[in-house]
Structure 1
């Protein structure tokens, strides 16, 4: 059975006056759920060095919250963008396009990215982002400071797309649970992965994963029910979840469409033996 993959992009605006104020937002010391309805006009930020662009900051390094990464949703209006998007010379990033069309240049190479487009940009790489089209371009921007390791080369930038990385079936799941990996998990040059996880209706993670990796999880499509620490939480497309290291987690797909999410995790480095 074939499935069409889609990517939810927020459009802002303001909630209806009759909406429940709390909605489904949750903030705990183990996890956070930011529902898509929270991504309204009143919580956008405008970044220095960017023109005709607004962002929703989903996570940033903060005591008791995300520790290893920042994650934003960026909406670039026609004619907008940045010739110097990254202020941190030690940062690496992933860009994943949700809607519209984006022009990305890395060094001397230019790319036109459509929904589902994926770019890894190496630390210190010079790049630009622009929207030369007629509709807004929206993308997920995940940033992390690169952690150098002795004898390990810095990875190279690359551009690909969701439809170029077919989901790989997880063992013994009959295809109900699969992962689209954009880099080789055994390549130690990379100190973080951003994959797409796909569950077909009925698919599940049948145990409570408990591990050292921190997660940023943006739901691209469909609905699911997630175990977060001791709570079962229903999530849907456009929702963002932050999971602290060692937060128990499991899930199952709900509804009739595939449940898919973009998943960040930090990997492949020795645990630090001191706190910064």
Structure 2
């Protein structure tokens, strides 16, 4: 990038153990074993206070993982933002395009590769699975462009898409929440669940803890448990983000 043209500044807001807003301008590349021809930023981890790890990945043409991702009690998830990615699990292969995703259960590993001529951008996620007796999750493959939006909490200008089944076998879910201009949450939420959210389009003003902060496309937000949260969509474009949620489990003591 060379020398700065102005005073150094950042929109990042980091409150360890509480919440974080991470804009794309401050991301750096993390070298991670078993990923070839990839630019990777770790945007959420236990070092921040999260119970999961989330990555923003740019995989070049012919990029790949050289060993499986996840498994051994770790569930994983990939969502393709741009380009094409091939996902291999056991003897099955899945060709993902923009909007495509795969959930991989904790008993299996996924291998990723980019066999196209263009780079691909995707979100990658992993967390320790919390087993539930007589319930076992399975591989889930889909594309958000083929899923139906549902009205969110009786609000005509806010919609939600569930990416994973609402089944007790799953201790997590992924959703896409979309707000039309002037749309907002119906109330300020305060709950035990934590989220990791990537803003795919639009602009908004997010209420986190006790402060309203502007956010926009490309920002990543981590929400810790019990942090009051809500958003207003601002501007002329829809605000839309994909976010993770822990669910279907009691709190362990």
Structure 2 length-normalised TM: 0.94
Of the candidates 36, 56, 75, which is equivalent to residue 24 of structure 2? Answer: 36
How far off its partner does 1:247 sit? 0.1
Of the candidates 214, 236, 247, which is equivalent to residue 256 of structure 1? Answer: 236
Q: Which shows bigger deviation, 119-128 or 16-25? A: 16-25
How far off its partner does 1:178 sit? 0.9
How far off its partner does 1:16 sit? 7.4
Aligned to 1:142: 125
Aligned to 1:47: 32
Unaligned runs of 5+ in 1: 1-13
Unaligned runs of 5+ in 2: none
User: Tell me, what secondary structure is at the counterpart of 2:178?
Assistant: strand
How far off its partner does 1:50 sit? 1.7
CA distance in 2, matches of 1:73, 1:117: 15
How far off its partner does 1:22 sit? 2.7
How far off its partner does 1:172 sit? 2.2
Aligned to 1:178: 159
Runs of 4+ off more than 3 Å: none
- The alignment's C-alpha RMSD in Å is 1.6
Structure 1 106/20 Cα, relative in aligned 2: closer, same or farther at 3 Å?
farther
User: Tell me, what secondary structure is at the counterpart of 1:204?
Assistant: coil
Q: How many residues align?
A: 252
Structure 1 length-normalised TM: 0.87
User: Tell me, what secondary structure is at the counterpart of 2:185?
Assistant: strand
Structure 1 145/19 Cα, relative in aligned 2: closer, same or farther at 3 Å?
farther
User: Tell me, what secondary structure is at the counterpart of 1:110?
Assistant: strand
